[in-house]
Chains A and B, each alone.
Chain A
């Protein structure tokens, strides 16, 4: 294991919190209730019988328990090149700013008391309009998928308003576009027409020609896709969909390589989406709170969710549905995950136009650097090897040959990489078009030393697969626990999403290392 770090995850054998504590202990004492007899305020039919079966712990126990759990979480403490999610360092200043200024704000406050935060939201919309060419942004969506949903329902409202919704009930997408596009279109009630890739790594124009019709409500598409392949015919695509009467939505989940290089609106798109928690460096939170910023043309603006921030003479107000009767209204309560918007705004301000251009360059350069080195690893190949042009900010690889030669799967590889302090790389969204896929993304924040380390770790794991596959198949060995057997978790007598269910189905926990 020459040259690789000696790593072992912290092992705390931390019990499930439900197993901890002692009757009567307290971790937080609420302000006193006072003398009022409160019992009479709750109708008898609504009174709680027994106290909840929660653990009883002192404050310090709770703090240490969750710190132990934090320590038993690898995440970005090692090297994490989780592709398609554009993992970036999130500047900590944003945490201080949001704690000081945003934490205790209420969205129902009179606008004159929140001119500062409204200025930030308005400023962020302006910035995203400049990056995309769109006319207005809304931040209500709680993530990228939610922004795709915003597009689906905005498209729905647009066609309904024109009396064409019953006829226009199809959304076109591609097999390599993030599954949330197909899923949210379907959730909004549309049929989904998916285009398969052709030999060039993107669907042929003829396939789109066959797909568009008077039933087309719109197209939802990402570009470049997760293989790092850019569809150079995208303008013709947009034209075709427009000619058929549909709307075009650009899913900018993969924006790092395209930011400062092109504008969705200039390519003809009617709407687009940015992930402020990915591309714009607001923290992930392990899956939110996140922001899917949705922008659209002035033609679609009447239909997009409300409220929107409006500015007049340096003073900001909120425009709600009473002033926008065609608006879809809400996809989520209030106006979005405001702390994350503030952090994203602050990131853009620290980068400036030049910094954003530079970041885009660096992310594409770093990916191409990784590709050079990765393709030297036996057992690994690139998707669509016939396509010789350079990939953008990420590249999809296949470990199909490794699996074929050794029986080691990408899941095994994920499990072994974490033994070296490298958290599991992303594989592929559904469906897998190449066997045993793996999709790293370097981004602009990770130093080359970390990229090299990541590559060295993968090379080591692949070498082990050929020389001693058992060590990979039984990994991880250096984590707090070994591999978890999830094979029967889809069976009703096995799954347990709560401790109550676990106790009922499995009784006392087995005498493992983590027994309390």
Chain B
């Protein structure tokens, strides 16, 4: 490095000549290169690096990024959901997660990190109220990861190795769960046993469920509402049967529904998992994914959490602070002896969800649930009126419904392409994912969709199927 030629960079405080010279002087080196003496010459990169040219001015960079990302198309309305949904994010949430103290942070001591740990504890506490469960771990990467971890928890609890999953499970989430289930050649592999879906109701086929439940079943994994939007009406019965068979009952839930629907814990779930994206986190092109694991506060479950767990505790003065509990069972505490593993997660989104739940309160959850029910059904009625289009599975659904286009003679791809031309993103294409449904799409309607959006969808769809 030629010190006389260095050009100070705005992201490197010490990149000025005076500081570099001073530091070199203190360390007793004539050139920075001497400090890399540990790396053998034959390990060193021979040529230079070829990277795109630097845009050191923020003004230039800002323009470049805007230009690049302006290639993305903004729709008039979008009806894409399926695990990543458009919900309104209150401005207060955005302000809090944008606070520098929270945005770029790492664990401190319980005292210096009081505010952040309290926010996380409040996330767990409020989610616990929605779920009516006393033990909530800090979040994990996603809903699918949460479900995968929960299956492994069940396997550790009862030593069994089969998990029953519904055929209607989201393929995206299922792919994650399959990775967590492992391969039969290695240790603690879980065999996923698919339970048929009743394609008339969109619910679990209870007969098939009964036939597949056995003393090999470590757990059953259900979701309510299901990926297809339907309420899993046979959930309580399935849970009862599973318990009789000695299996753990894991239920996945979208917590935005919990103002109008019972927590799965009320009808038999032992471990509840789900997403928190719907609680104040932008979709972020899938980067809003975030999951949780919760259960009754029993050692049987608590000692199997792979997540970091934060507990309220006291100071000598009687103040409340927050500190890690059950740390040793994580991979940080015990390397590979830990219960599976943890790392950085989605803790900022837990703060977002904490703020969101505090803003909504009990009535807010009830009302937003009713609004989503109302608007999604309003949309379903609109869609069902279009010639050749059918809405499947009756009206026991939340937020999402399956629009069946088989009667139109067109593929979902064709219909969505037409919608796109009209400035609308249609529902998720289910064809190929669920052959039983043929040309069907999962249409998502939330509180952000207004009457005119729904009307627009109706008009555009009518045009598209014509």
A87-129 to B contact mask, C-beta < 8 Å, 1/0: 1011101011111111111111110111111011001000100
| Residue A131 lies at the interface, judged by CB distance under 8 Å to chain B | yes
Task: Output the nearest chain A residue to B51 by Cβ-Cβ distance.
Answer: A353
Task: Output the nearest chain A residue to B143 by Cβ-Cβ distance.
Answer: A333
Task: Output the nearest chain B residue to A75 by Cβ-Cβ distance.
Answer: B105
The answer to whether B179 and A153 touch across the interface, beta carbons within 8 angstroms, is: yes
Tell me which residues across on chain B come within 8 A of A414, comparing CB atoms: 109
The answer to whether B231 and A501 touch across the interface, beta carbons within 8 angstroms, is: no
| Residue B24 lies at the interface, judged by CB distance under 8 Å to chain A | yes
The answer to whether B118 and A69 touch across the interface, beta carbons within 8 angstroms, is: yes
- Given contact pairs A41-B373, A183-B336, A105 touches B1 in the complex (Cβ within 8 A): no
- Given contact pairs A33-B371, A284-B104, A333-B289, A512 touches B186 in the complex (Cβ within 8 A): no
Tell me which residues across on chain B come within 8 A of A123, comparing CB atoms: 52
| Residue B347 lies at the interface, judged by CB distance under 8 Å to chain A | yes
- Looking at the complex, which one of A144, A185, A447 makes contact with B343 (CB distance below 8 Å)? A144
Interface residues in A334-354 by Cβ distance below 8 A to B read: 334-340, 342, 346-354
Most chain A beta-carbon contacts within 10 A, residue among B90, B114, B126, B319: B114
Interface residues in B179-207 by Cβ distance below 8 A to A read: 179, 182-183, 185-189
| Residue A313 lies at the interface, judged by CB distance under 8 Å to chain B | no
Most chain B beta-carbon contacts within 10 A, residue among A43, A49, A285: A285
- Looking at the complex, which one of B51, B115, B320, B341 makes contact with A187 (CB distance below 8 Å)? B341
Interface residues in A219-233 by Cβ distance below 8 A to B read: 224, 229-230, 232
Give Cα distance in the complex from A165 to B184, angstroms.
9
| Residue B14 lies at the interface, judged by CB distance under 8 Å to chain A | yes
Query: Would you mind naming 22 contact pairs between A and B with Cβ atoms under 8 Å apart?
Result: A30-B364, A42-B373, A48-B261, A59-B359, A66-B358, A74-B108, A101-B65, A103-B282, A112-B420, A116-B68, A156-B183, A183-B340, A190-B186, A290-B344, A322-B432, A333-B83, A350-B55, A368-B27, A430-B334, A447-B13, A486-B313, A492-B299
Tell me which residues across on chain B come within 8 A of A93, comparing CB atoms: 58, 61-62, 65
The answer to whether B51 and A285 touch across the interface, beta carbons within 8 angstroms, is: no
| Residue B17 lies at the interface, judged by CB distance under 8 Å to chain A | no
- Looking at the complex, which one of A25, A346, A359, A511 makes contact with B318 (CB distance below 8 Å)? A511
Give Cα distance in the complex from A479 to B111, angstroms.
6
The answer to whether A120 and B361 touch across the interface, beta carbons within 8 angstroms, is: no
Tell me which residues across on chain A come within 8 A of B261, comparing CB atoms: 42, 46-48
Tell me which residues across on chain A come within 8 A of B96, comparing CB atoms: 63, 66-67, 70
Give Cα distance in the complex from A27 to B285, angstroms.
27
The answer to whether B112 and A418 touch across the interface, beta carbons within 8 angstroms, is: yes
Closest 10 CB pairs of A and B: A352-B54, A145-B343, A334-B286, A189-B186, A512-B318, A285-B348, A72-B115, A183-B331, A107-B286, A510-B318
Q: How many positions in chain A have a CB within 8 Å of any CB in the partner chain? A: 223
The answer to whether A18 and B125 touch across the interface, beta carbons within 8 angstroms, is: yes
The answer to whether A103 and B361 touch across the interface, beta carbons within 8 angstroms, is: no
The answer to whether B119 and A69 touch across the interface, beta carbons within 8 angstroms, is: yes
| Residue A399 lies at the interface, judged by CB distance under 8 Å to chain B | no
| Residue A5 lies at the interface, judged by CB distance under 8 Å to chain B | no
Tell me which residues across on chain B come within 8 A of A334, comparing CB atoms: 84, 172, 285-287, 289
| Residue A377 lies at the interface, judged by CB distance under 8 Å to chain B | no
The answer to whether B111 and A481 touch across the interface, beta carbons within 8 angstroms, is: yes
Shortest Cβ gap from A498 to chain B (Å):
4
- Looking at the complex, which one of A21, A63, A349 makes contact with B55 (CB distance below 8 Å)? A349
Tell me which residues across on chain B come within 8 A of A378, comparing CB atoms: none
Give Cα distance in the complex from A143 to B108, angstroms.
19
Give Cα distance in the complex from A369 to B84, angstroms.
47
Most chain B beta-carbon contacts within 10 A, residue among A74, A183, A356: A183
- Interface hit among A50-58, A205-213, A463-471: A50-58
Tell me which residues across on chain A come within 8 A of B44, comparing CB atoms: 261-262
- Given contact pairs A38-B377, A448-B19, A512 touches B320 in the complex (Cβ within 8 A): yes
Tell me which residues across on chain B come within 8 A of A196, comparing CB atoms: none
- Given contact pairs A46-B261, A69-B119, A93-B61, A418 touches B111 in the complex (Cβ within 8 A): yes
The answer to whether B358 and A69 touch across the interface, beta carbons within 8 angstroms, is: no
| Residue A267 lies at the interface, judged by CB distance under 8 Å to chain B | yes
The answer to whether B178 and A329 touch across the interface, beta carbons within 8 angstroms, is: yes
Shortest Cβ gap from A218 to chain B (Å):
13
Task: Output the nearest chain A residue to B376 by Cβ-Cβ distance.
Answer: A41
Most chain B beta-carbon contacts within 10 A, residue among A322, A365, A373, A483: A365
| Residue B333 lies at the interface, judged by CB distance under 8 Å to chain A | yes
The answer to whether B297 and A501 touch across the interface, beta carbons within 8 angstroms, is: yes
| Residue B122 lies at the interface, judged by CB distance under 8 Å to chain A | yes
Tell me which residues across on chain A come within 8 A of B331, comparing CB atoms: 145, 179-180, 182-184
Tell me which residues across on chain B come within 8 A of A430, comparing CB atoms: 332-335
Tell me which residues across on chain B come within 8 A of A117, comparing CB atoms: 69, 72, 285
Tell me which residues across on chain A come within 8 A of B70, comparing CB atoms: 101, 116
Tell me which residues across on chain A come within 8 A of B121, comparing CB atoms: 16, 497-499
Give Cα distance in the complex from A80 to B321, angstroms.
21
Tell me which residues across on chain A come within 8 A of B45, comparing CB atoms: 260-263, 266
The answer to whether B6 and A26 touch across the interface, beta carbons within 8 angstroms, is: no
| Residue B86 lies at the interface, judged by CB distance under 8 Å to chain A | yes
Shortest Cβ gap from B258 to chain A (Å):
7
- Given contact pairs A26-B363, A510-B318, A366 touches B23 in the complex (Cβ within 8 A): yes
Task: Output the nearest chain B residue to A95 by Cβ-Cβ distance.
Answer: B98
